[in-house]
Amino acid sequence: MSTALKLVAAWLLTAVLAAETLFMATHARLDFPFLAPALLGAVVVQIRWCRSRFELLAMVPLAACLALLRFGFHFRLWCENAAHLGLFLGLASLFFMGVAVLRSRPHELRDRIGAFGVALAAPAFVVMTAAVLSGTGHAHPVTLDRVLYTFDGSLGFQPSFVVGRLLTHMAWLGALANISYEQVPVAVLILYTSARRATERTKPNLLLVIGVASLAGYLLYALLPAAGPLYLFPSRFPNSAEPPAGLALSPAVLSADVPRNAIPSLHMAWAVLLCWNARRSAL
């Protein structure tokens, strides 16, 4: 392919990438679970791997322009969606990394594609996970929530209700827990990009480990389908627990829209894997 054709192809693909970025910025669901943190992880990858100061400096104004396209100059909308602004930063970061791939020299191409692929891994994983979880309610309309709730009551108290009240009454602790819960994709990419220069003996293939653990978790959801006490007692949780003695040990029929992902806790598994691999990498 001649140089002129390569240049034209690069400009055409850049235009397509720009159109995709604009479409996502204006149409992406802001309430899509974990999408904003997953896209924010692209910023982590770009900061770690990018060698261009221009890309890093231009990322913020581009993200601001994308947010303006979505919210305009309505200050109230900006405040209401402050937790989702990472989505626009991530889209801006992905745009510049995509352009870098299209315009990279041959000796840079492998690293650029690797960075872009890692940055896309988190949002792709989030979208795929949502698709898988959306089917668990239809695959398992009957759950074991009542049986599990009775087992918890045999301990002498209901742990989920105790923790739920604690997080509700201590607003700062609830906010901290919520941030920690949602920002797992960012933590995974921080560790992965930090460990990429570690020796082969200690370097963890973290993305593969997380993927295998997640697959195992999804298979276990089918063995023990449950949604959790929030969905079993939506009007009571977490203030007043139902006495287990008056609860029939029978399967519960919950809405098919509720994912059956209470057991095992993949967030707990991911946190343990992050801590373990951080120690192995001496980070």
29 backbone φψ class: left, alpha, beta (φ>0; ψ -120 to 50): beta
Per-residue pLDDT of the chain (283 residues; tens, 9 = 90+): 567 777 777 788 888 889 999 999 999 888 888 999 999 999 999 888 776 777 788 889 999 999 999 998 888 888 888 888 889 999 999 999 998 888 888 777 888 888 899 999 999 999 999 888 988 999 999 999 999 998 888 888 899 999 999 999 999 999 999 888 989 999 999 888 887 655 444 555 788 889 899 999 999 998 999 999 999 999 889 998 888 776 777 788 888 899 999 989 999 999 999 988 887 665 5
Residue corresponding to tokens 């192809």: 9
Cβ partners under 8 Å of residue 37, min gap 6: 86, 122, 182, 183, 184, 185, 186
Task: Identify the CA nearest to 255 among candidates 216, 228, 222.
Answer: 228
Cβ partners under 8 Å of residue 224, min gap 6: 144, 263
CB atoms within 10 A of CB 158: 22
Would you give the DSSP letter of residue 253? E
Residue by residue, DSSP assigns 169-202 as H-HHHHHHHHHHHHTHHHHHHHHHHHHTTS-TTT
At residue 111, what are phi and psi to the nearest 5 degrees?
A: -65, -40
| 182/161 Cα distance (integer angstroms) | 21
Domain range annotation of the chain:
1-134, 136-283
| 268/231 Cα distance (integer angstroms) | 20
| 158/156 Cα distance (integer angstroms) | 7
Task: Identify the CA nearest to 166 among candidates 175, 158, 174.
Answer: 174
User: Are 262 and 227 within 8 A, CB to CB?
Assistant: yes
Would you give the DSSP letter of residue 242? P
C-alpha dist (Å) from residue 232 to 37, 66, 159, 161, 256: 28, 40, 15, 12, 13
Residue type, 139: A
Q: Where are the beta strands (DSSP E) in the chain?
A: 142-143, 252-253
Residue type, 163: V
Q: What is the pTM of this model?
A: 0.85
Q: 45: which 2 tokens?
A: 């990858």
Give residue 280's pLDDT: 66
| 251/144 Cα distance (integer angstroms) | 5
CA angle 126, 129, 134 (to 5 degrees): 125
